[in-house]
Amino acid sequence: MKKYNVIIVGSGPAGLTAGIYAARYNLSFLIIGKLNGGAISEAHKICNYPSQNNISGFELAQKMVNHVKELDGEIVQEEVMEIKKIKDLFKIKTNKQEYFAEKIILAIGKKKQKLKIKGEEEFLGKGVSYCAICDAAFYEDKIVSVVGGGNAAVTAALLLAEYAKKVYIIYRKEKFFRVEPAWIQQLKKEKNIESIFKTNLLEIYGKDFVQGIKLDNGKKLNLDGVFVEIGSSPEENLVNELNLKKENGYIVVDKKQETNVSGIYAVGDISNNSLKQVITACAEGAIAITTIYEELKLGEN
């Protein structure tokens, strides 16, 4: 049985930073994640991370992954199915094997929300997408729509505008929600982007592929693709099984990133800290590992 000081569940910025700090503290650790780099791997551009004026989410994520590996950190791409406390250890069961650790850091992030309208599931991969950076290049000279009104929706529209001949942003409110002013300024410069406010999608229709959408203002738009960017919600399955205290779906943590369950920490988008950004996720990962180091190593002295 291989035992680690800490197992980090999630391989986004929070989990990867925790790994970097764990390596420097000489803690034995394992990072388990379904997607190396996490959700930022799908971000078109990141312009507010110190030292990186303009970098793709994928590139920034790979830099973090490489940093962990250069420190001989261990990362496996597996899905955690279950976490149980057995005496003084946690047993982590994945879709492939079992691991054991003294401490657990949950950096599991959030999952994309869906519209839950007719045609959404039917045309998934056939014109419906939740990842502009993955699929934008397939829409060269085509017409697409982005549904949503936050930073993710606006940046998706800006990326799609580099390929598509027309991009509609459809949002249910009367103006964009907490979008960084810099993105709004850039959006206004793009002639092939049109914003439609106070409007909802009712249906996505087509034959073999998406051909158009119906709106609640009575209109239809003929188009080839629908990109859904209406926000994310916390991953709750593991959280519920571990009886962790939650606040609006997010895990409640203290200043040391500790949860109400001894030995379990939460960092990044899954925690109840207010600002969900790459830089704060990284900071939380560093704080959690420092807390664990002080408990495991300094506590021995």
pLDDT in tens, the chain (301 residues): 789 999 999 999 999 999 999 999 999 999 999 888 888 887 877 888 899 888 988 999 999 999 999 999 999 999 999 999 998 899 999 999 999 999 999 999 888 889 999 999 999 989 999 989 888 999 999 999 999 999 999 999 999 999 999 999 999 999 998 899 999 999 999 999 999 999 999 999 999 999 999 999 999 999 999 999 998 887 777 888 899 999 988 999 999 999 999 999 999 999 999 888 899 999 999 999 999 999 998 665 5
Structure tokens at 130: 């939740």
Check whether residue 190 and residue 248 sit in a common domain: no
Check whether residue 266 and residue 127 sit in a common domain: no
The CATH number of the domain holding residue 44 is 3.50.50.60
Check whether residue 160 and residue 214 sit in a common domain: yes
Q: Which of 139, 185, 177 has the alpha carbon at shortest distance from 128?
A: 139
Global confidence as pTM: 0.80
Check whether residue 103 and residue 154 sit in a common domain: no
- What is the full DSSP assignment across 210-246? EEEEEETTS-EEE-SEEEE-S-EEE--HHHHHTT--E
Alpha-carbon distance of 222 to 144, in angstroms, equals 9
Total count of domains within the chain: 2
Active site residue 47: no
Check whether residue 35 and residue 84 sit in a common domain: yes
Alpha-carbon distance of 271 to 257, in angstroms, equals 8
Q: Which domain holds residue 171?
A: 114-228
Check whether residue 155 and residue 12 sit in a common domain: no
Where a domain ends, among 210, 228, 246? 228
Check whether residue 213 and residue 147 sit in a common domain: yes
Where a domain ends, among 228, 258, 287? 228
Residue 299 has a pLDDT of 63
Question: Of 72, 88, 131, 282, which is the active-site residue?
Answer: 131
Alpha-carbon distance of 226 to 207, in angstroms, equals 15
Active site residue 282: no
Structure tokens at 1: 């049985």
Where a domain ends, among 177, 199, 228? 228
Question: Of 135, 224, 269, 282, which is the active-site residue?
Answer: 135
Check whether residue 223 and residue 245 sit in a common domain: no
Question: Of 47, 134, 216, 254, which is the active-site residue?
Answer: 134
Check whether residue 120 and residue 106 sit in a common domain: no
> Within 13 Å of residue 75, how many CA atoms lie on the same side as its CB?
28
Check whether residue 99 and residue 127 sit in a common domain: no
Give the SS3 label for residue 138: helix
Check whether residue 144 and residue 208 sit in a common domain: yes
Check whether residue 42 and residue 128 sit in a common domain: no
Residue 298 has a pLDDT of 67
The backbone torsions φ and ψ at residue 139, rounded to the nearest 5 degrees and listed phi first, read -115, 35
